[in-house]
Structure 1
Amino acid sequence: MGNPEGSAAPSAPAARPGGSLQLTLSFGSLTAPLVAIAGARASGNPLSPGEVAACVAVGFLGMLTVQIARNRRERRHGARGRVLGRIGLGRRSGRSECGYVDTQIRDPKDVQREALTIIHSSGRPREERDRAVHALAHGRASDDASRRTLRNAIQDRKLDQDQRFGMAETFCRCNPDEALAALDLFSRESANDSLMRLRAAKLINEPVTRSRAILAIAFAADVAAECRLDAAIALQDRAPYDAEAALQALATDVTDGAKVGFRVRIQAAQQWASLNRERAVEVLWQIARSPETPWYWRIEAAFELAMLKVRAAYKLLLEWGENRELPEEVRGYLFSALSKLDAQRPV
């Protein structure tokens, strides 16, 4: 018949893959066909059984078309006004990066007791320990007491340092706000490894607390010079003045028996140049021209000066190249530096 309603009925099940089409039948939708049948009978020209069946079929097809249109509209615009459509069931917090989902229904006390045993035990698999931290941090068994116990375990020196840092890292992924204090204390504990202290400080999600923790590492006398340099570099974006002070302290450290070697001093001066070019250039010149500095570091300092577009440094490298008294291995290193500079010069 070319009826548009007739063409919609066969495609209805395919319109919602993976779901069932629910039809809500209402006698009110059959009003028009019933009125037509009654009117024909009252006029003395009753419809034949086939015509009556056709009228009823048209009413049912109309209801089906309306229901399909409603379902398609809900798929396009979402289930407006419905609870599940509003809350987004199962959505994780915007800050938490925890990937664990609690699937077992157990007594929270049993879960907490088992998790406490795991975090205080050595030699447990990382996956098992991470799940225990998750349970105590923000799982079904978590509460203020469990999180306090977790923080205390992270500070427990009887436990392996790698294990403690691993727990702090997982705690931060699960509940970064609650993990802040544990990470801050871990980063300030001098007995911990320098790099782990810096990694813990960088995990802190509160900007001011994070900057203070990193700054403390940048100036700590008990921290390796390389780690102090990394801490100073990490401060450049958020705390440039503090970063400059830390870089200056490293670049100008010339005390007897200083832990800061020439490599760190030169790298610190290189980073310092972006904040205070004039002072950084002075430090590099002091290293390059000092006869007490080993040749390798004099060449390295002059190379960094040339990279900073100081022309006199390039001329100094050329003069050293003409020095016949230089050891052969030093001359090779010098010509390698000159080749790098020549490769970067515009043609």
Structure 2
Amino acid sequence: MTAVTAENGEHQSGPLLDRARGLVDALLRTSVQEMPPRMRLVCGYQLGWWEADGRARTGAAGKALRPALALAAARAAGGVGADAVPAAAAVELVHNFSLLHDDVLDRDETRRHRPTAWKAFGTTDAIMAGDAMSVLAPQVLAHHDHPALAESVRRLGVCVAELCEGQHLDCAFEQRVEVSLPECLEMVAGKTGSLLGLSCALGALAVGAPAGTVTALDAFGRQLGLAFQLVDDLLGIWGDPAVTGKPVGADLQVRKKSLPVVAALAGGTEPARRLRALYTLRRPLNPAEVTRAAELVDQAGGRAWAEEQARLYTVSALETLDRALLPGGDGTALRALAAMITRRKL
């Protein structure tokens, strides 16, 4: 995959994510601790803190990309990253709310190398825990007052609505034979781009950035979100399960209309026609068919298209960032995170 150079971002992003996780974890734990017992258990499991029986757990708790974006956006807006910790915690709660619901809707059984919450606790508890997280997010913001609090809460609410609309479209596509690339990009803009945009906007708002800067950083995050989803979709087909935490070809097995697949189907080539035949089957694909589908997506140009689009969206995001920077603002961390998103290995 083509890499985007951003001030040695591949070396800087790891510490940025670790720092973000360290800064938001204490606030998240305090906030989740105030939940009723069952919701607290499921949410803590989702966040990687403990096992399904409540025993403490060590290990990966997610990448903390969205909190890292919020903290980095605060710096890009000329402020101090630590002032955006409540914003970072809020976007992490919204992100996990969406994951809890997505896993139920998609019937995904593994995430981060262990059973998804609905497999561990049941569908009802997973949905209710997701709802509880979505409600907790604005509470976290409200408990840490700053001049732009009302605008932060407003933007958070708009984002949740966009996420729900994006998820609706994603589910609707599963029932349709034909999905166009513009439709698929619209779905991704709502389901993925909106939350990365919110992360950057809330970080900027937390440090008192002017409206123009907030809008520009929101646009940066949304463009980066499209690049992120393109890479995620590539990983969903060709990613290493040891890295992704999901079975190889999981998206193809359930005939998910991801961006590389839709791009491949739009080509009208012989590989595209063969891929369409597999995707019209009314059952999950078997392992041999998954392998064949991946080959056909590649042969029909879907892989190359997705890689190039991820590069272009990242370049566009970085150009938007350059225009958004205020005097005294430091965009180094945002550039490093952008590089990390594009450099994820297949």
Larger Rg: 1
Q: TM-score range by the shorter chain?
A: under 0.3
The alignment's TM-score, normalised by the length of structure 2, stands at: 0.21
Instruction: Using CA pairs under 8 Å that are at least 6 residues apart, name the structure with larger relative contact order, 1 or 2.
Output: 2
